[in-house]
Amino acid sequence: MKFSFPNPMVILLGFLILAALATFLVPSGSFERVLDEETGREIVVPGSFQLTEDRDITLFDTLLSIPEGIILGSDIIVLILLIGGAFYVVEKTGALQIGIEALVYRFRNSQFILLVIFSCFFFLGGASFGMQEEIIAMVPVLALLAKKINYDLRAIIALSLGSALVGASFSPINPFGSLLAQEIAEVDFSQGFLYRMVFLVLAFSSWTAFHLRWGKIPAANLEKGEFAPVRISRSHGIILLLTGAGMIIMPWGIIQKDWGYNEMSALFFVIGTACGLISGLGVNGTARAYSQGFSEMIFAGVLIGLARSVYLILEKAQVIDTLIQAMFSPLEALPTTMASVGIFVTQALVHGLVPSTSGQAVLTIPLASPLMDLLTVSRQIAVLSYQYPAGLMDLVIPNNGGMMAVIAAAGVAYNEWIKYIWKSFALMLGIGLISCLLALFWFA
């Protein structure tokens, strides 16, 4: 019988079972936590770890975590359904296809510029507000673009989702990563801004150049086609403007108005409805398009819920703190350079347990910062050694529901994604590690 790689849902259920089994092998424990008045978050008190009464997870608890995880991720799932529905409506109007064909024709002799702009857009989205789940709804657009310009769909995903994740990882202004970590570590934001910007530009250039080079389909496999001029009608133009306005208003709302998932969902519900009515789909036609869009996105939403379920099991059993204590405590005895490498690797491993970058910052930076003090190096090293691996691991770990949902919606198997992405992933990790090591001298 021919082996077929497991479905993303099967992979996440496998992780769920492994998490449940881990609760029998790892003792329960916890750190004391105090409320940080400035951030409004609870942070760990270094040196406060204690073992607690074991809380092994039963079979019933494991099964119960599945609906609980989906409920826990309900705000993101609603966002995916409403944005996905809105984009499906826009796609049904024909405006997206016309817009992409017009864009491809405009850059028919300079696809390099087109893809650099494309990558830059998502890179800035990731760097400024941690764009990720919002991309799930754009998968049909990405697939259409890949087909039009004869690029591997995995490369287009890398230049969209991948660029956003790399941007979030290297950004000095990501509020859910670098800014939060610097605030917890009590380091000056301006002190390391220029240093981080240098490596941000280096990461963007390297990532984009890599996928421009290796994403192109070989000439022998190209689909023959001619570039024909495309006329954008008035209604299609208005629809594209509304959609573009939504993509601009969303980050503005997040940064300036502290929007959450509900506000973003409401914004795109209005945009999708307006586009459907403008195109002539009518009230019933727009509603039918929305329902079809919901059906396309529901699997992606379930994957995100299952990813939450894995973390929920580990949290219920109180084994996360135990594992983090076991990972960080041996680093105190290492030389400075080795300890920095050790923290980098440890933070990458921790992200497999704590898929939330902000949650990981709150949990680990209070432990890494005193370690930097013991080693007599800047706490900036603790921040850098957290932000790079934590963000980059989202490219490959199966319990990142956003990434799994994107590739599932695109019809790309997880093993095929890893097969394509691992070299550029390793390149980004290398750049991040070099940055951490050079920072030992820069911030001396």
* pLDDT (tens digit per residue) in 184-226: 888 877 777 889 999 999 999 999 999 998 888 776 455 555 5
On whether the CB atoms of residues 154 and 215 are closer than 8 A, the answer is: yes
pTM of the entire structure?
Answer: 0.79
**What tokens appear for 28 in the block?**
């329960």
| pLDDT of res. 226 | 55
Could you give the 3-state DSSP secondary structure of residue 216? Answer: strand
Token pair 């208003």 is found at 249
CB 275 within 8 A of CB 86: yes
> What whole-number distance in Å separates Cα of residue 444 and Cα of residue 435?
14
State the sign of the Cα–Cα–Cα–Cα dihedral 210, 355, 348, 313. negative
Structure tokens belonging to residue 12? 């996440």
Distance of CA 365 to the CA centre of its chain: 20
Reported as a single tens digit per residue, the pLDDT across 70-90 is 898 788 788 878 887 888 888
296 within 8 A of 3, measured Cβ to Cβ:
no
Q: What are phi and psi of 39, to 5 degrees?
A: -95, -20
Q: Which of 221, 271, 249, 317 minimizes the C-alpha distance to 89? A: 271
3-state helix, strand, coil in the chain (%, to 5): 75, 5, 20
Backbone angles phi, psi at 379, to 5 degrees: -70, -15
Q: What is d(CA 17, CA 177) in angstroms, rounded to the nearest whole number?
A: 29
Residue 353 · residue 320 · CB < 8 Å:
yes
Look up residue 223 and give its two tokens: 């689909």
312: CB partners within 8 A, 6+ apart: 65, 68, 69, 72
Residue type, 47: G
Low-confidence ranges of the chain (pLDDT < 50): 1, 220
- Supply the pLDDT for residue 39: 58
pLDDT of residue 68: 92
